[in-house]
Amino acid sequence: MAPRFFVLKDEYRGVHDAEFGRIDDDDNVDEAARCPRCGDFIGMLPWLPPYRVTLDLYGQELGDFMRGVGNSLVSERFAEAFRSEGLRGLQDFHPVEVRRVRRQRRGPKPAIVPGYFLVTPVFGSAAVDEARSRLRRNSLITCDWCRLTGVDGIYGFALEQGSWNGDDVFIPRGLSGTMIVSERFADFVARHGFTNMTLTPTEEYKWDPLRRGPPPSTQGGQV
Query: Positive or negative, the Cα torsion across 13, 179, 119, 54?
Result: negative
Q: Which of 51, 7, 52, 45 is nearest to 29 (CA)?
A: 45
Q: Looking at the predicted structure, is the pLDDT value of residue 222 above 80? A: no
% residues pLDDT > 70 (the chain): 96
Residue 196 carries which DSSP code?
S
Q: What is the pLDDT of residue 217?
A: 66
Q: What is the pLDDT of residue 121?
A: 95
> Alpha helix locations (H) across the chain?
76-84, 183-192
Q: What is the pLDDT of residue 223?
A: 40
Categorize the per-residue pLDDT at 218 as very low, low, confident or very high, splitting at 50, 70 and 90: very low
Query: Positive or negative, the Cα torsion across 90, 35, 50, 9?
Result: negative
Query: What is the SS3 assignment for 77?
Result: helix
Average pLDDT for 125-142: 95
- Higher pLDDT pick, 158 / 221: 158
Sheet holding 18-22, edge to edge: 18-22, 52-57, 97-103
Q: What is the pLDDT of residue 220?
A: 44
- Higher pLDDT pick, 25 / 113: 113
Q: What are the residues whose beta carbons fall under 8 Å from the beta carbon of 184, sequence distance 6 or more? A: 87, 168
- Summarised one tens digit per residue, pLDDT across range 161-204 is 999 999 999 999 999 989 999 999 999 999 999 999 999 999 99
Q: Looking at the predicted structure, is the pLDDT value of residue 221 above 50? A: no
Angle of CA points 172, 173, 178, to nearest 5°: 40
Say what the pTM is.
0.91
